[in-house]
Structure 1
Amino acid sequence: MFNSKKSKHRKAARIETLIGENTHIKGDIHFSGGLRIDGVITGNITADEGEAALLTLSEKGRIEGEVRVPFQLINGDVKGNIYAAEHIELAAKARINGNVFYKLLEVAVGSEVNGQLIHVGEAEESNLNLEHSQTDANLNLEQNS
């Protein structure tokens, strides 16, 4: 029973992709496994469904877009909403400008969240992607009116 969660987290802990400090990517990223970002991403980051993916954003890294990854360790800047279906850790140099939707949250002294912290329970977890996609679409319609 407990081994399934541990094996998911261990599988995700291996970094398979590194985006270096001097790299700037414009566009959406879809990945599985482990992703470490030391550079800049302008676009959305999404982990493959059903995967125990881990995103590590270093203090040098920056994301401008939506992040949908089950396990996250954030120590850099994010401008956009974050959706963590399993676990998110906001380290001391994390700076979030957007809402954080989470199941399990760790926050270090010194981190900043300029937005709402919204807990997602077990029953809501499966609807997380659908509900927030609809909310984002509604916000876009209101802004265009």
Structure 2
Amino acid sequence: MAFTSDDISINTLIGPGSFVSGDIKINGFIRIDGDIKGKIESSSNIIIGERAKIQGNITASSIVVGGIVLGDITAPKGIKLLSTSVVIGDIITKSIQIEDDAIFNGHCISLSIEEEFKASSRQYLDQQAIRSKVI
């Protein structure tokens, strides 16, 4: 998985020592080295640094995780879990790379065929919506 060549400049940076509480929606590439409690959405790519801690679901085109994520991750183009990462949540993607020593506890949907990916993603998200209404 590689970032697309037309999207290599970081538009937003949340630096070390920063804390954000609330949902974030970014139109572009973001790097996170601080802590966030809330949902993150990006139209592009996300890099989560080694010391970052995220409590919330993340949606982007592609994501590299080096820190801690407590939430679900959706990234159709791809997800890479670095050896320093901890992910407690479900993953939906077309391509996944997990380095040695990475910690992942959750379900993973990884289908490269577009139609199968969309159908499986839709079914999973529908089930999640039903569960959230029941709980």
Query: What TM-score comes out, normalization by structure 1 length?
Result: 0.83
CA distance in structure 1 between the partners assigned to 2:74 and 2:107 by the alignment = 12
Q: Is the aligned partner of 1:46 residue 2:41?
A: yes
Q: CA RMSD in A?
A: 1.9
Structure 1 residue 131: Cα displacement? 4.2
Q: Which residue of 1 aligns with 2:15?
A: 20
CA distance in structure 1 between the partners assigned to 2:114 and 2:122 by the alignment = 15
CA distance in structure 2 between the partners assigned to 1:13 and 1:123 by the alignment = 28
Q: Is the aligned partner of 1:139 residue 2:131?
A: yes
Q: Which residue of 2 aligns with 1:79?
A: 70
CA distance in structure 1 between the partners assigned to 2:42 and 2:116 by the alignment = 19
Superposed, which structure 2 residues align to 1:39-118 within 5 Å? 39-48=34-43, 53-118=44-109
Instruction: Give yes or no for contact 2:29–2:42 (8 Å, CA) kept in 1.
Output: no
Q: Which residue of 2 aligns with 1:3?
A: none
CA distance in structure 1 between the partners assigned to 2:124 and 2:41 by the alignment = 14
CA distance in structure 2 between the partners assigned to 1:76 and 1:141 by the alignment = 30
Instruction: Give yes or no for contact 1:11–1:33 (8 Å, CA) kept in 2.
Output: no
CA distance in structure 1 between the partners assigned to 2:12 and 2:124 by the alignment = 27
Instruction: Give yes or no for contact 2:92–2:121 (8 Å, CA) kept in 1.
Output: no
Which stretch has the larger CA shift, 21-30 or 132-141? 132-141
The structure 1 segments of at least 4 consecutive aligned residues displaced by more than 6 Å after TM superposition are none
Superposed, which structure 2 residues align to 1:6-17 within 5 Å? 9-17=4-12
Task: State the secondary structure of the residue aligned to 2:130.
Answer: helix
Task: State the secondary structure of the residue aligned to 2:80.
Answer: strand
**Which ranges of structure 1 fall in alignment gaps of 5 or more residues?**
1-5
Query: What TM-score comes out, normalization by structure 2 length?
Result: 0.88
Q: Is the aligned partner of 1:30 residue 2:22?
A: no
Q: Which residue of 1 aligns with 2:115?
A: 123
Structure with higher helix content: 1
**Which ranges of structure 2 fall in alignment gaps of 5 or more residues?**
none
Which stretch has the larger CA shift, 26-35 or 128-137? 128-137
